[in-house]
Chains A and B, each alone.
Chain A
Amino acid sequence: MAALLEAEAVSFTYPDGTRALQKVTLSIPEGKKIAVLGPNGAGKSTLFLHFNGILRPREGRIYFAGARISYSHNALQQLRQQVGIVFQDPDSMLFAASVRQEISFGPLNLGLSKEEALARVEAAMAATGINDLRDKPTHFLSYGQKKRVAIASVLAMEPRVIIFDEPTAYLDPRSTREVMALLETISRKGTTIILSTHDVDIAYSWADYIYVLAAGQVIGAGTPAEIFSDAPLLEAADLARPWLLDVYEDLKNKGWLPLEAPVPKSRDELLALIPYRCRSQLAI
């Protein structure tokens, strides 16, 4: 699997002396769904800003598509076409006076014609379900709506990688489901997705691969099954276990599930595993 983005021993210190990243090494395979987990202040957002060249590592290297990132003006513009970030706080992204204009900003920066940009804007609005907000000023939107506009504004640039910094924070359950479904759709089209989250259930069901960050260091990496069966790691990163695994193991221990039952990835898979106790009793 070719790595699309790679960080190699990246360290970063903010001007005030906060050591936000220390020798972070990780790689993001193309076309995959990667989750980055870690407590508040672990350095997730800081790491993401390195991926499209907004922050420059003090030490270490960042690679994109096999080549080391160059920080010349033109190279950075190129990079930012390919690596989109949906920021944690949508208010920090929105600047324009209407939703449509907001979303058109990225595509126009790509140098697209008005018609192409408009087509991209329409497609992004349709994908995020905000068609009816098109002429609204961004400051009259609710938080969840702003989040969608922020997502659409990056989507419209059609980058190869989209980084979502806590896309489901503060969203209600329905919006959370819709955003995750949207990520699934984007991923199916071949876009690589990196996401940070504090929701272990989402990370467990959604991700192909997980990196765990704590205090600026990568303390764990693996498939969801590996990560969430590593109790000391979860302890160190202050992560809870997904309820799915808890229930699954409990059912197995108490004999409701056969020992060879596969580990379920989703709620439906788990429900499908649980056998009927006795058919004849059910028929009554």
Chain B
Amino acid sequence: MFNIDQYAYSNRLTQVHPGEKIAFALATLLIALVAPQPALPAIIVALMAGAAIGAAGIPARFYLQLFLIPFSFLIAGVAMIALTITNQPLAGLKGLTLLGWTLGVTPASLHLAGKIFFKSLGAVSCLYFLSLTTPMVDIMTVLKKLRVPALLVDLISLTYRFIFVLMATVNDIYTAQAARLGYASLRTSYHSLGQLVANLFIKTHRRSQELFTALTARGYEEELQVLDVPKPFSWPFLFLAAGLDLVLLSLMFIFRRWTLWPPF
């Protein structure tokens, strides 16, 4: 989380207008989701990895580590979809049979699992591109421009800030406890962790009150008004992004005609 945020502020695409990055990420995301063939999201994963690592300069190692997070969830989830347990004969069913029940895979379930797998990875890669290249400030600016209700934007902005306050508080409490051997044994660890959680709530609540007081002192009424950060449109990025998405779209239609597997 900390690292993602740090890269968002310091990558090579920070100066690109956030609207362009958001449009690119969302358009590509849409293609990944609607494309009936698994090949397209796979291409998108590669494309977005190229954009994040090549264009934005995110270290490849870090990028791959990020992907491990959804990967592990995905593998588990997709395995459940691919596997079928049945006592009926199914077309192309292969697997272990015990007492008339078969645990196995069918081409159809494999296909479905593959589709979901690639679609999810494709979608994740689009969102990673956005969160790795676009600071929260910029995203909020665009949300405001799009006339998202101020209340919602403020809520997002405060949530964002408080994630860091919360993490800093956890860190402080944990360090303070560990320094006094709070995590020396399993028993004390449970005890310390319980206290940490309880304390965290109290402290965070107090913090939010303090913040409210301080905001009030600066004339807060009902909207957190701040100056937007003006960023120029960069036409090269926009053209490149639009071009790439067009290519993807055309691929989608070409593949559709050629496709061997009918979409389910």
Contact = CB atoms under 8 A, between A and B. Distances in A.
Mostly helix, strand, loop or mixed at chain B's interface? helix
B213 A54 contact: yes
A115 B1 CA distance: 34
User: Max chain B CB contacts within 10 Å: which of A94, A96, A100, A121?
Assistant: A96
Nearest to A100: B227
A253 interface: no
B229 A153 contact: no
B89 interface: no
Chain A: interface size category = 35 or more
Contact of A153 (B161, B207, B218): B218
Interface in B201-238: 207, 210-211, 213-221, 224-227, 229
B213 A108 contact: no
A142 B207 CA distance: 18
B137 A95 contact: no
B214 A92 contact: yes
A95 B215 contact: yes
A136 B14 CA distance: 12
A50 to B, nearest CB: 12
Interface in A119-156: 121, 135-140, 153-154
Contact of A97 (B6, B161, B207, B225): B161
Contact of A49 (B157, B158, B164, B213): B213
A185 B149 CA distance: 41
Contacts of B226: 96, 101-102, 104-105, 108
B263 to A, nearest CB: 42
B59 to A, nearest CB: 18
Given A95-B211, A98-B137, A105 B218 contact: yes
User: Max chain B CB contacts within 10 Å: which of A52, A87, A109, A135?
Assistant: A109
User: Max chain A CB contacts within 10 Å: which of B136, B168, B218?
Assistant: B218
A167 interface: no
B210 A54 contact: no
Given A92-B214, A96-B161, A139-B161, A77 B225 contact: no
A105 B224 contact: yes
Nearest to B164: A139
Interface in A172-217: none
B13 to A, nearest CB: 14
B213 A92 contact: yes
Nearest to A102: B226
B138 to A, nearest CB: 9
B151 interface: no
Interface of A: 49, 52, 54, 77, 80-81, 84-85, 87, 89, 91-98, 100-102, 104-106, 108-110, 114, 117-118, 121, 135-140, 153-154, 157
Given A95-B158, A109-B218, 9 more contacts: A80-B219, A96-B226, A98-B229, A101-B227, A118-B227, A135-B229, A137-B135, A140-B6, A157-B218
